[in-house]
A and B are shown apart, each in its own frame.
Chain A
Amino acid sequence: MDSVGNMIIYAIAAIAIIACSILAVTTKKILRSATYLLFALLATAMFYFQMDYEFLGAVQIAVYAGGIVVLFVFAIMLTHKPGKDAEPLTSHKRWLGIGAAVAGAVVCAVALFSYGKFCCAKLLPGANFDIKEIGTALLDTDKFGYLLPFEAISILLLACIIGGVVIARRR
């Protein structure tokens, strides 16, 4: 966090994340909610870029922002008639929600910030992994190789495809 530029970028991204997250779960229009989600995800991608994980940032944008949000939008379109998606919330539930969320955040925060190693950590200028290394690692079987998870996730995706097909088929 040495440069002011970084600070500014960080601040923008952080504020975007926080604001968009809050808005995403409080807005009354479902489509807006999806939009705020998109911005939150993009802001997250900014974080990744800032941390020099460009590949991850790209994936974040492509898969999350590009894929999932579109999926959401499709789903919303399929299930909502425009203009009729205001959802009233009971206050009772809201306080419960806030309570749970705050409690969770507090516990995690206590846990994280009591962790000494973390407080003194600095963003070191990391070795910039290029895309080739990442690609190799994904197909490597040695230490820090990810061939098996890679294969496994392919099976997972296959399963999800079949599952999706099963569910979505009309009969």
Chain B
Amino acid sequence: MEIFSNILIYFVIVPLLTLAGLALCRNKGIGAIRTVAVTGASALMILAITLVVMFLQERGAGNDAEMILTASWTWYAPLNIKLALGVDGVSVVMILLSAFIVFAGVFASWKMDPLPKQFFLWFFLLSTGVFGFFISIDLFTMFMFYEVALIPMYLLIGVWGSGNKNYSAMKLTLMLMGGSAFLMLGILGIYFHSSADGNLTMNVLEIAHNNAIPENWQLFLFPMTFVGFGVLGAMFPFHTWSPDGHASAPTAVSMLHAGVLMKLGGYGCFRIAIYLMPFAASELSWIFLTLTGISIVYGAFSACVQTDLKYINAYSSVSHCGMVLFAILMFNQTAMTGAVLQMLSHGLMTALFFALIGMIYGRTHTRDIRDMGGMMQIMPFLGVGYVIAGLASLGLPGLSGFVAEMTIFIGSYENADVFRRVLTILGTSSIVITAVYILRVVGKLLFGAVQNEHHKQLTDANWFERLSTTTLMLSVAIIGCFPNFFVDIIRDSFLPVVKALGEFFPVVIQ
């Protein structure tokens, strides 16, 4: 069939096949379950790498279409809903990121107990949603996959989580679905204004091309969409699901959630909210810039006083993800590229963080930094990993965080208006605060004397934990060392949106 000739569709098919494979496994057959899960994750990773190669080839061959590998099949004809696929640089790197994190996540949950089969089922359902979201360019399918990715969180946290998991899982799910309620209205609104001549469409490219959404409608729909995705992007003041949710989630879920799911928010803000409604974006950006600016500083400050490892990371995620949205709202190619880099970087390093925290927690059964200390002596591998993640987070050159943040800051400062510049400078202050809380936790957790005698018996990481974390560490380092590889992929993808914004906003088109 024609549909199977497009590589993109396999990003949905492979997880689904994995789901099917898992469903066939016996509940107790942990070996088979692991085999299937690893096979699926590896296949996704191979696919993602192939996709990057294909993308580069296409671009190299001079295909400078906005999206490549586009294809569409009508799904719901009455509403002109199509299964429309296509990727640009941003989606390609997002897919790559997701593939890595899924891969690492499988290994991080190697010893998942109880109900490993069900865990992986939900895990791969979530992955299906994530990949589906990134490959789609049809509003409906995007939204559908978006929600598919959200809902497994409830059970993943509720069943396999720890601590106050019921509350957290419910709060997370309700808040995220609350966001998607706004989103649904936004999407329908966009759909019904997608075309001036009555040929309504759900296709993002066509809507952008038609550019028919009336300005007053944009002013209504833009906040809907932006807030809808912003909730997932942990935008202040809609971020409170994040600390509780992350704290209660099991390791792999935290990884996937912070690593990939929160990226859906940023991606959606850019792809749907800003791209389709440039007028409202430029009119209302000040509100959201303020909010995201607050997110950045606020999250960082909050992280400074937390004592639970996961809370620290969750607030740090608020800060970092705030930066993503912040940069997207800066409306120039550089800042937006930085936003995507930040998504990559945050995704990987937060996943790494959560993986390590999970592994440490699995051994010590506490996440309170006051009860821990001297972990570096006990589990050097995890300790070193934690330091690397921390350094990536506080922006050490050579690791991914630096590249992303610098691109964002330099790009943001390229704007000529004072408001944006002042915000940029305020935003940069986060690099100091980040250093404060990262070093605080590193100092308390890893260094110093061992606080608890029992901890001395603990062991260092085993092979699958090492595999999981090493994958992530390597990717963090690769992005940090060779950023231009990614920048080249990402950068041009923002040209259309920047051009669209240019009609309303004094954008420096570089």
Whether chain A touches chain B in the assembled complex (some CB pair under 8 Å): no
B contacts, CB < 8 Å to A: none
Residues of A within 8 A of B (CB): none
